[in-house]
Each structure stands twice: as C-alpha cells, then as structure tokens.
Amino acid sequence: MTPTQLRAYVTVVRLGSVKQAAAQLEVSESAVSLHIGQLRKELGDQLFSRAAAGLAFTPGGLRLASRAAELLGLQDRTVHEVSAAGRGRRLLRVAASSLFAELAAPGLIELFAKRAADLDVELSVRNPGTFETLLLTRAADIAIGPPPPVVDQAIAGRPVMNYRLVLVVGPDHPLAGVPASPGQLRDQTWLLGPSATADRGAVPGLLRRFAVPDDRQRIFQSHAAALAEAKRGRGVAPALSFTVAPDVRAGHLQLLGGPHATFEAVWHSLVLAKPDTLPAAAELSRFASTPRAIQAMMRGAGVSVGRFKPSVHVTLWS
C-alpha cells in the first residue's frame, strides 16, 4: 500500500464518489479507480460496491478507511515534525471550537508558547463534532472546546474552564430593561457567531432551549461582529459573560435577566490517551486549567473581526 493509494481511498470514502474524489485530488477518475483496484488486489477485499443509495462498504473496507486515515495523519504529522526538527523547533497543533478560538485561545496560547522557546503552536478552528476524528487520525494533537457526549477510550479529556453564556441587547432594543419570557426571546432576531453552526456547544444548546427557528437566526463571520450588531439594537446576542462585562458597565450593552437567559457550560481539552499523548499536548492540557491560564484567557484581546475566518483560519504562535 502506498500513501497515494490510501489518500485516494480515504477521499472516495469521505465524498462517497470516485468522480468527486478525482476532482478534489485533481487527477483523472481512471487514476483513482486504478489506486482502488491495486488496494483490492493487495488486500483481497472488494472494499466497496455501488448501490442505489451510493457506495456500500464491506467490513474490511470500513476498517481500511479508519486505518488509512490514521496512517495518513501520522504521515502528515511526521512531515511536520521532521521539518520542524530540521529548524530546531517543535510543532503543536491545536484544534478549537470557534467560540473558544476567538475569545479565549489567544490569551492561553500566547502565554503557553512563551514557556518553550523551541515550540510553535498552530491553532485552527474546527467543528467540535470532528474533535475525536482529528485526534485519532493524528490531524491534531489537542482539541479544546465542548466535550463529546461519550469520550472514546483512546482519548483522555479534562475540564479546562467553566464559563457562562448570557444574552445581551443594545440599550435601545425593546427588550432592554424588560424581563423577557422564553416566547418573546424565541421571536427575536438572534445575532450569532459561527459557533451556532456547530454540532454541539453552548450556543447550539441555547438555540435548542428556545427552539429558535432558522429564519430568526443571523450568523456572522465572528462573535465580535454579532455583538457589534447587538449594540446597534438589531437583535439578541449570546455572549461570554466575561467578554461583554466592560460593554455592560459602559452601557453599550444590557444583560437580559431571568434564569432562562443564562447558560452554564465547560470547555474541555482532549488528547490521545497515554502512551500516545504528545508531551506538549499533555502539558497544554494540564496548563490550560491553571488559575494563571484562566486569567490569561479572560484577559485575552481575542482575534479581530477582520482576521477571524472560521473555516480556514490558522494562527501560529512562536
């Protein structure tokens, strides 16, 4: 088996189509089919067949998909590590939910990176629903954000920071200073950051609590942009309590009262369980829950609206 063959197979599995896999890999369909055929011959397994609903994978085909993704992740990680070692540096890849990445990660990562002169930290925004896959395939060394409902035995998790999500409006909004019922909140225009589109997390949980319909949700490129719209009185915005405290004190925003207007949650760090844990990942997981790190997260300036690009944004700290 070659990395090229495995990459072709993994792409077919992910997209469910040889044609789409060829387009993404920028090769011909016959080239992808050739790689699949070579794998079938070497492994003695059909791997998958065409069905009315798409591709139907054999048990061996599903096992190969999982193992191939892991092998390719190890290959990519090795390339990064060898390149970094050649420059006398180490690389730590952090996957984070958009809420954490925008509002808490900059302070944490900047402080942590200062602890080791030879460490580069790469932060990328990922959907929390992909955290386990990213770790198991070695595409990320540590993930921080909402925890999965059930943690895989190959992954170790620990709480990082308790936080409170609150609802805010501008001082001129009709609900400013008025106790609002769940029904009134449901009918408002909700101003949201990219975390609203995630599989899990505090913001999606809050939207489910109020059963906010899709046509009442406006999603912005960043949470900071959503709050800017809230200051103009254009709707209700969920926000981290510690990030909006200065604006509330200054009168630029007002908190909505009532027990239904707050949401308590916890960010967790996830790493591969021992002995597969990367030492730098284990150290960041431990450090993130310390009082000094939490203070840094709460004081962090965050990523500016212009720089934050949730689908592709990557920031390096050295």
Which residue, chain included where needed, has tokens 């690389």?
91
Residues of the chain with CATH 1.10.10.10: 3-73
What CATH number labels 162-265? 3.40.190.290
Write out the two tokens for 18.
């040889």
Contact between 168 and 239 under an 8 Å Cβ cutoff? The reply is yes
Radius of gyration of the chain (CA): 22
Q: Is it true that domain 79-160+272-317 has CATH number 3.40.190.10?
A: yes
- What residues have CB less than 8 Å from 192, skipping those under 6 apart? 203, 207, 217, 218, 219, 220, 223, 226, 237, 238
Question: What's the rounded Cα separation, in Å, for the pair 305 and 307?
Answer: 6
Closest to 173 (Cα-Cα) out of 163, 162, 184, 165: 184
CATH topology of domain 3-73: Arc Repressor Mutant, subunit A (1.10.10)
**Residue 287 · residue 295 · CB < 8 Å:** no
The model's pTM:
0.70
Do residues 129 and 178 lie in contact, with contact meaning Cβ atoms separated by under 8 Å? no
Residue whose structure tokens are 């063959």: 5
pLDDT in tens, the chain (318 residues): 888 998 898 888 888 888 888 998 889 999 999 999 999 999 998 888 877 767 778 888 888 887 887 788 777 767 766 766 666 677 889 999 999 999 999 889 888 988 887 888 888 888 898 899 889 888 899 999 998 888 788 899 999 999 999 999 999 999 988 888 889 999 999 999 889 988 889 999 999 989 999 999 998 888 888 999 999 999 999 999 999 999 999 999 999 987 788 899 999 999 999 888 889 999 999 999 999 999 999 885 444 434 334 333 445 554
Residues forming CATH 3.40.190.290 domain(s) in the chain? 162-265
Which amino acid type is present at position 206?
L
Domain with CATH 3.40.190.10 in the chain: 79-160+272-317
